[in-house]
């Protein structure tokens, strides 16, 4: 679903004329309106899931940046129980989807139930209204907000009471996997996490750039205008020798790719670059044959999606 094209209709007197179109993601009209073309528009309110017992609630992290998160907690039987913490960053080409869509709410509910973890799902500001690096900055701000709970004195009781910050995981899919990678790099190169130990990172069908233009390049050039996307390590971490990979701030990485996904080879390239980088952790790559990009979100009950869920759960619960 990463086929895209650019359309420019700049000299129209009709404010409803399209001035930019990047299908299937978004189009921009002359009056400034942004229309998201492909997105799950069904918003799911926070709730108590009757099937799994997973509870959810939303909280605002920053009023200034409209930064918010959705928190997930499994059914708690022991009030003193500490659980691994998962910080999840949704995909959608940096410009569509949210933690509140049915797609991601249902997936995180399922993952939290199966892995028995607390999860924080980040609603970063989206392009094109907020060009990159806004999504990176917001995700880092959310992680630092999570870190403010390490001493049990944060604003959210679920994190204060039940999160084991020594067992923190980052995860994301597609563009969200790109962001999760960049958050792990930032964590490894700074001292700004205040006691949060990132044990592992899960990158599902990750979006990374290439050394040459492709069909997705016009989108990234438009939403990240301040950089050369082929050279910038945030977009192309395996490029230019992959120097930043060695500072990845975690002990383990799981990369999941899909056989029919046009991003498959970039996930493999990232895996190979990470192994060569001198980073001291353990990296594993798993391929789902015969499936396409984010199939596990679009068809979560299929057999291969369940196998992928089991792999992610096993990765989180390793050594638990």
The sign one gets for the Cα dihedral 141, 146, 148, 150 is negative
User: Catalytic residue at 148?
Assistant: no
Pick the catalytic residue: 110, 174, 205, 277? 174
Q: What CA–CA distances, in Å, run from 129 to 12, 20, 317?
A: 22, 13, 38
The three-class DSSP label of residue 34 is strand
User: Of 87, 309, 76, which is closest to residue 177 (Cα–Cα)?
Assistant: 87
How remote is the C-alpha of 310 from its chain's centroid?
A: 19
Q: Please tell me the distance from the alpha carbon of residue 185 to that of residue 188, in angstroms, as a whole number.
A: 5
User: Catalytic residue at 174?
Assistant: yes
Specify the length of the chain in residues.
320
- Residue 270's H or E segment, with its range, is helix 264-276
Q: What CA–CA distances, in Å, run from 209 to 2, 48, 148, 183?
A: 12, 39, 33, 17
Residues 6 or more apart from 217 whose CB is under 8 A from it?
Answer: 209, 229
The three-class DSSP label of residue 253 is strand
Q: Please tell me the distance from the alpha carbon of residue 107 to that of residue 234, in angstroms, as a whole number.
A: 26
Pick the catalytic residue: 49, 110, 232, 261? 261
User: What are the catalytic residues?
Assistant: 174, 261, 293
């Amino acid at each position: 679903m990463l086929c895209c094209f650019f359309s420019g209709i700049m000299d129209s007197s009709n404010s409803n004329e399209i001035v930019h179109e990047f299908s299937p993601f978004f189009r921009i009209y002359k009056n400034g309106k942004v229309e998201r073309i492909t997105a799950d528009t069904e918003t799911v309110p926070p709730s108590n899931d009757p099937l799994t017992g997973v509870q959810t609630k939303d909280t605002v992290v920053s009023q200034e940046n409209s930064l918010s998160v959705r928190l997930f907690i499994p059914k708690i039987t022991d009030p003193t129980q500490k659980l691994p913490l998962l910080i999840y960053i949704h995909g959608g080409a940096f410009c569509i989807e949210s933690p509140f869509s049915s797609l991601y709410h249902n997936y995180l509910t399922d993952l939290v139930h199966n892995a028995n973890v607390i999860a924080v799902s980040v609603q970063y500001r989206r392009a094109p209204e907020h060009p990159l690096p806004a999504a990176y900055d917001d995700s880092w701000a959310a992680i630092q907000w999570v870190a403010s709970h390490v001493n049990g004195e944060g604003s959210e009781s679920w994190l204060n009471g039940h999160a084991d910050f020594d067992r923190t995981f980052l995860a994301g899919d597609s563009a969200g996997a790109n962001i999760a990678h960049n958050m792990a790099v930032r964590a490894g190169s700074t001292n700004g996490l205040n006691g949060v130990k990132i044990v592992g990172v899960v990158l599902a069908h990750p979006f990374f750039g290439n050394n040459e233009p492709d069909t997705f390049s016009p989108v990234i050039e438009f939403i990240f205008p301040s950089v050369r996307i082929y050279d910038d390590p945030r977009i192309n971490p395996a490029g230019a020798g992959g120097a930043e990979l060695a500072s990845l701030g975690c002990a383990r990485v799981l990369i999941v790719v899909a056989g029919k996904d046009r991003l498959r080879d970039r996930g493999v390239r990232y895996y190979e670059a990470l192994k060569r980088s001198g980073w001291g952790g353990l990296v594993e790559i798993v391929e789902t044959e015969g499936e396409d990009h984010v199939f596990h979100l679009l068809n979560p009950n299929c057999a291969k999606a369940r196998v992928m869920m089991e792999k992610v759960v096993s990765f989180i619960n390793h050594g638990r």
